[in-house]
Structure 1
Amino acid sequence: MKWIYGKQDFKTLERGEENCYLMTNGLGGFSSMNMMGGVSRNDHAFLMACTNPPNHRYNLIHRIREEVELEEEKIVISSQEFQGKEAEKGYEYLSSFVYDDTPLWRFHVKGMEIVKEVAMEQEANRIALQYQIHNRSKREGIFSVTPFFQFVAKNQDLDPLQEIHFCPQENKVESEGIQLFFRTNGDVLKIPEERETLFYSYDVCDGRRACGHAKANHKIFIAIPAGSRVMLEIVYEMEKSVQNATTVIQEAKVYKKALEKRAGFTSPIAGQLAKSANQFIARRASTNGSTILAGFPFFEDWGRDTMIALPGICISTKQYEKAKEILRTFAAHEKDGLMPNLFPEGEQEPMYNTVDAALLFINGVYLYYEATQDADFVREVYPVMKRIISGYMAGTHFGIRMDADGLIQAGEGLAQVTWMDVRIGEILPTPRHGKPVEINAYWYNALKIMDILAELTGEQAGSYEKLAEQVKENFQKQFWLDEKGCLKDLVSGTKADTQIRCNQIWAVSMPFTMLSKEQEKMVVETVFEKLYTPYGLRTLEEEDQEFHGIYGGPVEERDMAYHQGTVWTFPLGAYYLAYLKVHQYSDEAVETVKAQLEVMESAMREGCVGQLPEIYDGKNPTSSRGCFAQAWSTGEILRVYEALENKKL
């Protein structure tokens, strides 16, 4: 899709900071700035490189200053807020910002038109910058680009004493053992070191640090004679190559179009989401395989997030080899029936503090098999799936074990092992120790899958079916709230049991479920009445005394609201799948969902262009919060589009 923003979208500096772009390189590196081309977060960067995929990321080029000189007149066309000095207001010359696989800016400056385009190369720490300049004025012009560097690890700030060296003979900048090379058809000039203090308006509102620093030591410029057309090309890269900017940009577009074509969606929004989904897939050096990054700009790759996101990110987009590669990586790291929630970095061991990732791994294998009929892969990982079931039955770490009634309980002490996992010191804002509703929905689903896939391996499957029937019987007895027409969130003997939360929707949306058709309809209607918003599901109903309607402020305030009413986009996918299911994919149901999904285009225009965010405020979800691009949000909504186009029954 082509996203076009005009001057009304950045009529002020504050308005222009509302939206940003994101490009990734498949290594964990990225480029992300606001639509004016400035940085409004410490995690924004023109070039965030990754030296050891996917999480060893370094903010090399933080931002770029751009200037036009027309004889004696100097005009800055970049836009940036600073601490202690007046902001650059180049947005006053910005006519449009367009995102169509690459970001493109069009400036008009006193008879001069400047078109700027940027692209990242896949599998390389390389970024290309191209300016097409038409000087229709009667004055001679000079256009210059000044990069401001940090050469610090992501989230860190530049120390005033850190030296950043410019080596003009080698076209190289280096600091802290990192080298960055560049090529350009422009002229290069070494300048006295310039240090600036940038203001991060989108960090301040979340209680993060307000400012950061960057240094410049050279600029690149080109003369533009009156009446001429000139192109300035610049490539910055960690790995030396001969690629020019035009080639990098063209190849980036071809790559994105191929992703869209492979996915094969007829909906333009779904086609865009298929390309957006690929931005979360990265290489992990420690496992020599692919992984899914949970969200930008904050998160790394987590087991739970990967297992939730994988069906949409990889399978719905027909990236089956990537899906298999990721599942195979997780299978290799299964331990005591659990899947890693965090993969190892360096000498560190994986962390296994998640109850849902292993059960969702089984679901992922099943969905992969349904899409590909790859029985060999099922046979390869089936022993791992058996160890998961055995581990849950016998009991494993973090209080995860099957009770005598066949249901799964989880959590102990301060260990939060469901996705509602926030902990503030010794405070658990959303305690869910006991038998969580979605975990038992995943458990039953896993048992049914084991029974079905056992036939492929020649194993007798009767024990799985027998246990599944016990789980179903006791689930219906213990979780159903007849007076509310919905499911308990938990079986624990605490007040948390009867809170109305979004977790119950997965007891309807999974491939194999335990409720009667009438009960499933009642759950869907209750979730719609109490929790539905156009951009996601509330994590807690508004009428609950513990409901928090606003997500923001210092980290403690944000954490108290995180799962206590805050709207999350990814459960909306399960809601729509459940709605379609209980209405048997009728024409009316399909049209209802299609109509409600139309607002996704609006969501994808706000925050990060073409992406879906992590969360919104619970009371009135108008502006995205948290990560501006979230893998499981994108993946789960993609699954809905896939279901609509295939009309899966």
Structure 2
Amino acid sequence: MIALGRQVCGDLAAASAREWLVTDGLGGYAMGTVSGLRTRRYHGLLVVAEPGGSARRLGLAAIEPVVRIGDRTVRLATDEWAGGSVDPAGHRHLAEFRIDEGVPRWRWDLGDVVVQREIAMAHGRAAAGVLFTVVRAPHEITLELTPLCTWRDAHGERTAYGEPAVAAAADGFVFEDAYRVTGPGWRPGGDWYHGVYAREEAARGLNAVEDLWAAGRFEAGLASGGTAEITAAATPFDGALPAAAGLVAAARKRARKLVRQAGVRDPAGRQLAIAADQFVVDTPAGPAAVAGYPWFGEWSRDLMTSFEGLFLSTNRHADARAVLLRAGATVSEGMLANTADTGTLEYNTADGALWFVHAIGRYAAVTGDLDTVHALAGPVVEILTRHRDGTRFGIAADPADGLLSQGKPGFALTWMDARVDGRPVTERRGKAVELNALWISALASAAELLGSAEFAAYADRAAASFRRRFVRPYGAGLFDVVDGPAGDDPAVRPNQLLAVSLPHAPIRDAAPVSACAPLLTSLGLRSLAPSEPAYRGVHRGGPAERDAAYHQGTVWPWLIGPYADACARLGLPTAGLLDGLELHLAEWGLGSVSETAEGDAPHAATGCPFQAWSVAELLRARRLLAA
């Protein structure tokens, strides 16, 4: 599915803009670019996660390969330094890059010598394997491999101070008691690589320079067909570490199993099934999902929005059940904790719990497992009752019309939650359109699943109020927010699609879909129409600039799911709707779908290169439109 030749691999800009990812099923990962250039502070071969991925530490940053062919020396790494120099420039020798059953593979063409590298991680353990193979050589060559090391928070940098603690271990070393690296012919050394530069961090307005410790080198003499294996593993690492070749073989075997389980046969479907697995993580409390790589951990809103695509569209029903039961046990005052990425649990989302009820309904529809639904009846009733009567942040149903209102000054509680200098960009206080679509659908779903006449009546009342309050005249679609501090907001946003797309949607005509026509792109939907005064078509620059554009025109691929639902429900044409996103699998975060893209054409990808709900909704939409 993913294969790049010399014209991309040898072009530093093109090859460095394409990233690869492998994960350990715990929230940790290995990640980098096709060129081998570390363009982000987050790139490395061993990034270790705390449970759920809420915090990560970067360990083994890179392995620098050098090939000696007689008197000839070829450096295969690609490094950039503060000041702008690129040295070495091994990408010039890179003839091929592939992702083969989820395993990234490079081949350097050195004339009559071809060297290959493959990278994989253990599943369920913070361990990575790097396998070098001499594909072709007329005689023995020497391969030297220098590990570049650090141990720091993944969101930061580390600069040289003293010498790090490096202890000898069998076939390698232990770095600062945090992780162990093993391989052939270990020769201890030690030197700082000063001024390593990450160009993507500079583009994001962040610190871009750090120092890395070259701990020594591994060395092997290899003939054609020979291999050299490097394994890095975080604590505990007693005994022999798993062989890199075994990790690569196991990763491919797991990928084949995931594809079979998902029941997909086409190349895009196979790749998406593997991509979905990258977000699913095991935690001490059960399975969950990381929202995106490289910087997000678990977010309940993202998890529940992604639920159907990640778990049901891939036939992972046992995991789906466990996710729901785990979430149900965490309900507090009718809400789900949104994230622990800031270090503490935060109950700051007005829609996460409603997406949870939606996920339960979809689980029941797909699996028929009503026993699990009944086990979750208590949390569902608590969610709906507290939302009706009132809970945190002013979330409550208006007694006058049954519609859900929310908001507190200084907070952004919907999915459009960006802030600049602590102030929300799109506060959306009042009765937001997608929240009320979710509210009505949740009430109706609970009424069906639990046999509640009370919820059914409340759903009918809220739906009637919705049609009376949100529908704009002359077929102009729906208001984005009604009864807000400034009155009703007619801004053209994609949120109105949920009023047509959800299983118990209150709207059954095409006006919202037609209104969203200016939002549609080949990579998803813009978050605001270009005709709106607040529209921003560029999503780049420093944190404040990017956050100001985040929901003001930036394209979101996940919204293709609600758009596809609405079109399918109304019988509107969908030919070619997903083609751009399927092509996107080979454009940026390779084999996956980005978090966002710029509103202005050509819609350059932005945000996380690997985003859970983007992958999940493409998976779900493909299955929906193929039915």
Q: TM-score range by the shorter chain?
A: over 0.9
- d(CA) in 1 for partners of 2:88, 2:369: 56
Taking the aligned partners of 1:156 and 1:210, their CA distance within structure 2 comes to 10
Distance 1:167 1:392, change over 3 A: same
Q: 1:27 & 1:462 partners in 2: Cα distance?
A: 42
> In 2, distance between residues paired with 1:72 and 1:495?
77
Letter in 1 for 2:359: G
Q: TM-score, normalised by structure 2?
A: 0.95
**The 10-residue stretch of structure 1 (265-274 or 476-485) with the greater mean CA deviation from structure 2:** 265-274
Local SS of the residue matching 1:376: helix
Do 1:166 and 1:172's aligned partners in 2 also have CA atoms closer than 8 Å? no
Residue 627 of structure 1 aligns to a residue in which SS?
coil
Residue deviations 1:19-59 (CA, integer Å, cap 9, x gap): 01110111111011101223110011111122545333211
* Residue 522 (structure 1) aligns with: 511
Paired residues for 1:352-501 under 5 Å: 352-404=347-399, 405-425=401-421, 427-455=423-451, 461-493=452-484, 494=486, 497-501=489-493
CA distance in 1, matches of 2:430, 2:437: 14
What displacement does 1:447 show? 0.7
What is the CA distance between 1:153 and its match in structure 2? Answer: 1.7
Which residues in structure 2 correspond to 1:265-276 (within 5 Å)?
A: 265-276=264-275
8 Å Cα contact 1:535/1:621 also seen in 2: no
Distance 1:267 1:135, change over 3 A: closer
1:317 aligns with 2:317: no
Deviates more, 1:96-105 or 1:269-278: 269-278
Structure 1 CA distance for aligned equivalents of residues 464 and 488 of structure 2: 22
Deviating more after overlay: 91-100 vs 480-489:
480-489
Aligned ranges for residues 212-611 of structure 1 at < 5 Å? 212-224=210-222, 228-238=224-234, 239-240=237-238, 241-285=240-284, 288-343=285-340, 350-404=345-399, 405-425=401-421, 427-455=423-451, 461-493=452-484, 494=486, 497-515=489-507, 517=508, 520-527=509-516, 529-583=517-571, 592-611=573-592
Give the whole-Å Cα distance in 2 for the aligned partners of 1:637 and 1:229.
40
Q: Say whether the 8 Å CA contact 1:163–1:175 is kept in structure 2.
A: no
CA contact (8 A) 1:54 1:284 kept: no
Q: Which amino acid aligns with 2:603?
A: T
SS in 2 for 1:21: strand
1:106 aligns with 2:107: yes
Q: Which residue of 2 aligns with 1:118?
A: 119
Single out whichever of 324-333 and 90-99 deviates more from structure 2: 324-333
Q: 5+ unaligned residues in a row in structure 1: which ranges?
A: 456-460, 584-588
How far apart are residue 581 of structure 1 and its match?
1.0
Matched residue of 1:383: which SS? helix
Alpha-carbon shift at residue 349 of structure 1 (Å): 5.2
Contact 2:167–2:175 at 8 Å: present in 1 too? no
- Aligned-partner SS, 2:328: helix
SS of 1:432's equivalent in the other structure is: coil
Contact 2:494 2:525 in 1 (8 A): yes
Helix, strand or coil at the partner of 2:585: helix
Give how far 1:598 is off: 2.0
Query: Could you tell me how far apart the structure 2 residues matched to 1:426 and 1:143 are?
Result: 51
SS at match of 1:28: coil
Q: Give a deviation string over 1:62-88, Cα, whole Å, max 9, x none.
A: 112111112332211111212245422
Counterpart in 1 of 2:613?
A: 632
Range that drifts further, 193-202 or 89-98 = 193-202
Structure 1 residue 165: Cα displacement = 3.3
Would the alpha carbon gap of residues 274 and 229 (structure 1) be closer, same or farther in structure 2, given more than 3 Å must change? closer
Letter in 2 for 1:638: L
- The residue matched to 1:414 in structure 2 has which SS? coil
SS at match of 2:393: coil
CA–CA distance in 2 between the matches of 1:268 and 1:86?
A: 35
Per-residue deviation, 1:235: 1.6
What displacement does 1:425 show? 2.9
* SS of corresponding position for 1:634: helix
Instruction: Give aligned-pair identity as a percent.
Output: 26
Distance 2:145 2:603 in 1: 36
Q: Deviations over 1:400-442 (max 9, x none)?
A: 0000210000011112110011122353221200000000000
**In 1, distance between residues paired with 2:475 and 2:355?**
28
Kept in 2, the 8 Å contact 1:126–1:237? The answer is: yes
SS in 2 for 1:560: helix
1:589-629 Cα deviation digits (max 9, x unpaired): 5xx53522122232111111110000011111432101001
Q: Distance in 1 between matches of 2:505 and 2:201?
A: 42
| Partner deviation per Cα, 1:481-508 (whole Å, 9 max, x = no partner) | 1235200000035376100100000111
The CA deviation at 1:353 is 0.7
Q: Is this contact kept in 1: 2:338–2:347, CA < 8 A?
A: yes
Matches within 5 A, 1:153-164: 153-161=153-161, 163-164=163-164
Aligned residue pair count = 620
Q: CA RMSD in A?
A: 1.8
| Rounded Cα–Cα distance in structure 1 between residues aligned with 2:473 and 2:309 | 33
Q: State the match for 1:620 in structure 2.
A: 601
Q: Measure, in 2, the Cα distance between the counterparts of 1:170 and 1:223.
A: 19
Superposed CA deviations along residues 219-264 of structure 1, whole A, max 9, x for unmatched, are 1111246xx4421122222234453222111111010111111011
State the Cα distance separating 1:557 from its structure 2 match: 0.8
With structure 1 as the length reference, what TM-score do the two structures score? 0.92
Q: CA deviation at 1:330?
A: 1.3
Secondary structure at 1:633 match in 2? helix
The one of 204, 207, 223 aligned to 2:205: 207
Q: 1:83, 1:578 → 2: CA distance? A: 50
Aligned to 1:71: 70
Q: 1:349 to 1:154 in 2, by over 3 A?
A: closer
Deviations 1:455-498 (Å, cap 9, x if unpaired)? 3xxxxx21111111110111011100123520000003537610
Q: Distance in 1 between matches of 2:244 and 2:423?
A: 52
Counterparts of 1:271 and 1:58, CA distance in 2: 31
Structure 2: 5+ residue stretches without partners: none
Per-residue deviation at 1:376?
1.1
Pairs within 5 Å for 1:170-185: 170-182=170-182, 184=183
SS in 1 for 2:574: helix
State whether residues 172 and 186 of structure 2, in contact with CA within 8 Å, keep that contact through their aligned partners in structure 1.
Answer: no
Letter in 1 for 2:226: V
Q: Is the 8 A contact 1:197 1:211 kept in 2?
A: yes
1:159-195 Cα shifts (integer Å, max 9, x gaps): 311643333343453444413242x3x2111124232
Q: CA deviation at 1:115?
A: 1.4
1:133 corresponds in structure 2 to 134
Letter in structure 2 aligned against 1:221? E
SS at 1:305's partner residue?
helix
SS class of match (1:385) = helix
Letter in 1 for 2:465: N
Task: Choose the corresponding residue for 1:194, options 176, 192, 195.
Answer: 192
- SS in structure 1 at match of 2:128: strand
Q: 1:37 to 1:414 in 2, by over 3 A?
A: same
CA offset digits 1:5-30 (Å, max 9, x no partner): 01111333222111011101111110
Is the 2:55–2:341 contact (alpha carbons within 8 Å) kept by the matching residues of 1?
A: no
